[in-house]
């Protein structure tokens, strides 16, 4: 997806107030800007023309994870997960979005000073912006294993979206694209497959759906969890969490990424080698369709994953 600057006139939520994005600014000495002491989250919201409604996908679970992860670096978010969902729905209504949206909550150490030791001054924002395709995967993605290794849990916990940790992803993604790939694949320091630069990874091999375990320094993704549930319930697949060797990527039947932004992204080449026959596999295609249907409210069994934003409710002037 080509990056574009969001409209500065959209409404955001910043430190307890609704305001223009263009007015939601921080001091250049803000602690998080210098030292990466923030935690963010990513939530998708899907617009339905038929129902004239916006559906937030697993929003309360995203916010619960965010609040929990903020505790790792001692940031306190006062609002409950349910209250945060209400704020997000209000943002959708105030902005009058009639398209798919990406929501970015951010909590950060906000003291405007120099010094790596954080204090108890925290800032918080929620931004919702129109958002389309993150990685164009219609014909399959080309992925490559990069030289950078995934951050270790005892260095910077990968299970939390800690801002400073994403230098790791930025370096990996830059290397991958300069080498002609769409996305990076990280290995752990022990040489096992971890995940993509911004997404989890799955492989299909010998009739099993396999994905790395949390102990291999992955983000415990909610899209990952959703796909595992869909695979087990709707396709009766055996889903296995275990370490994956790099060479397994070259001999597996199918590969795909999952994540809030990428959704389900098929991988048809890895390290310039075809995955399977080099086309999108049947299991991947089926899971991608199931996921797309679930997030848009087209499968009754997964309606509990969706929170209507109430777009028919008038927003305050």
110-114, 130-134, 179-183: segment of lowest average pLDDT: 130-134
Q: Per-residue pLDDT for 34 more than 90?
A: yes
On the CB side of 71, CA atoms within 13 Å amount to: 6
* Share of residues in the chain with pLDDT > 90 (%): 91
Q: Does the pLDDT of residue 289 top 50, yes or no?
A: yes
pLDDT band at 1 (very low <50, low <70, confident <90, very high): very low
Rounded CA-CA distance 259/158 in Å is 14
SS3 for the chain is CCCCCCCCCCEEEECCEEEEHHHCCCCCCEHHHHHCCEEECCEEEEEECCCCEEEEECHHHHHHHHHHHHHHHCCCCCCCHHHHHHHHHHHHHHHCCCCCEEEEEEEEECCECCCCCCCCCEEEEEEEEECCCCCCCCCCEEEEEEEEECCCCCCCCCCCCEHHHHHHHHHHHHHHHHCCCCEEEEECCCCEEEEECCCEEEEEECCEEEECCHHHCCCCCHHHHHHHHHHHHHCCCEEEECCCECCHHHHCCEEEEEECCCEEEEEEEECCEECCCCCCCHHHHHHHHHHHHHHCCCCHHHHHHEEECCCCCCCCC
User: How high is the pLDDT of residue 317?
Assistant: 55
Name all domains of the chain by residue range, CATH numbers in brackets.
Answer: 11-130 (3.30.470.10), 141-300 (3.20.10.10)
Active site residues: 161
Q: In this model, does residue 181 exceed pLDDT 50?
A: yes
Count of residues making up the chain:
317
Buried residues in 279-315 as b, exposed as e (16+ CB within 10 A): ebbebbebbbebbeebbbbeeeebeebbbbbebeeeb
pTM equals 0.94
Query: pLDDT higher for 215 or 132?
Result: 215
The pLDDT, as a whole number, for residue 3 is: 62
User: What gap in Å lies between CA 294 and CA 27, rounded to an integer?
Assistant: 41
- For the segment 28-56, the average pLDDT, to the nearest whole number, is 96
Confidence band, pLDDT 50/70/90 cuts, at residue 133 = confident
Q: What is the pLDDT of residues 246-287, one digit of tens each?
A: 999 999 999 999 999 999 999 999 999 999 999 999 999 999
């Amino acid at each position: 997806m080509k990056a574009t600057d969001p409209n500065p006139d959209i409404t955001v939520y910043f430190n307890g107030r609704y305001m223009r994005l263009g007015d939601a600014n921080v001091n250049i000495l803000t602690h998080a800007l210098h030292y990466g002491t923030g935690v963010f989250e990513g939530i998708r919201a899907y617009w339905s023309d038929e129902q004239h409604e916006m559906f937030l996908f697993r929003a309360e679970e995203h916010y619960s994870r965010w609040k929990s992860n903020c505790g790792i670096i001692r940031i306190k978010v006062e609002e409950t997960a349910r209250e945060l969902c209400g704020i997000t729905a209000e943002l959708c209504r105030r902005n009058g979005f009639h398209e798919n949206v990406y929501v970015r909550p951010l909590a950060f150490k906000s003291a405007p000073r120099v010094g790596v030791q954080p204090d108890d001054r925290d800032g918080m924002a929620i931004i919702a912006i129109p958002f389309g395709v993150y990685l164009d995967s219609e014909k399959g993605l080309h992925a490559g294993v990069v030289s950078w290794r995934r951050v270790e849990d005892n260095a910077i916990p990968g299970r939390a979206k800690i801002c400073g940790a994403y230098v790791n992803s930025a370096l990996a993604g830059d290397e991958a694209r300069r080498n002609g790939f769409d996305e990076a694949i990280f290995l752990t320091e022990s040489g096992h497959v971890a995940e993509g630069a911004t997404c989890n990874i799955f492989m299909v091999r010998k009739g099993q759906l396999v994905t790395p375990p949390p102990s291999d320094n992955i983000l415990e993704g909610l899209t990952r969890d959703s796909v595992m549930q869909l695979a087990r319930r709707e396709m009766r697949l055996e889903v296995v969490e275990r370490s994956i060797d790099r060479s397994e990527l070259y001999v597996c039947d199918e590969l795909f990424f999952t994540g809030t932004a990428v959704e389900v992204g098929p991988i048809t080449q890895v390290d310039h080698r075809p995955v399977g026959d080099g086309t999108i596999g049947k299991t991947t295609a089926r899971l991608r369709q199931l996921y797309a249907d679930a997030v848009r409210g087209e499968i009754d069994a997964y309606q509990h994953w969706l929170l209507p934003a109430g777009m028919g409710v008038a927003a305050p002037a």
